[in-house]
């Protein structure tokens, strides 16, 4: 099970809980996310993806220019907002 406090201690970045994507400069997406994560760099993004994948926690990575439509206007899981290229 994913624990937010452990994730925050392992990953450098910004974390938001139950927040609208429009508050985070994500254009063309109007949805509420359970968790919004903005990793501070490429290393943290890779580590974050590894942790989320190994825990089985639902997640998606989008950038600030992307267009994504979430069914029901909500994504139940973590939304990673970044313009970092792997």
- Contact status, residue 15 vs residue 35, Cβ threshold 8 Å: yes
- The reply to whether 86 falls in a domain is no
* pLDDT value at residue 40: 95
- The reply to whether 43 falls in a domain is yes
Number of domains in the chain: 1
- The reply to whether 61 falls in a domain is yes
Tokens of 72: 């029901």
- The reply to whether 12 falls in a domain is yes
Taking only the tens place, the pLDDT of each residue in 17-73 is: 999 988 988 877 788 999 999 999 999 999 998 999 898 889 988 887 766 767 677
Q: Tell me which residue range forms the domain holding 20.
A: 4-81
Domain of 58, CATH number, reads 3.30.43.10
For residue 72, give every residue at least 6 positions away whose Cβ sits within 8 Å of its Cβ, in sequence order, or none.
Answer: none
Give the residue ranges of DSSP H helices in the chain: 4-10, 42-55
């Amino acid at each position: 099970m994913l624990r937010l406090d452990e994730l925050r201690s392992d990953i450098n970045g910004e974390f938001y809980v139950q927040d609208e994507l429009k508050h985070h400069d994500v254009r063309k997406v109007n949805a509420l996310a359970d968790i919004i994560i903005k990793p501070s760099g490429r290393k943290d993004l890779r580590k974050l993806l590894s942790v989320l994948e190994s825990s089985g926690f639902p997640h998606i990575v989008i950038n600030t220019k992307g267009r994504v439509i979430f069914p029901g206007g909500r994504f139940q899981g973590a939304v990673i907002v970044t313009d970092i290229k792997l």
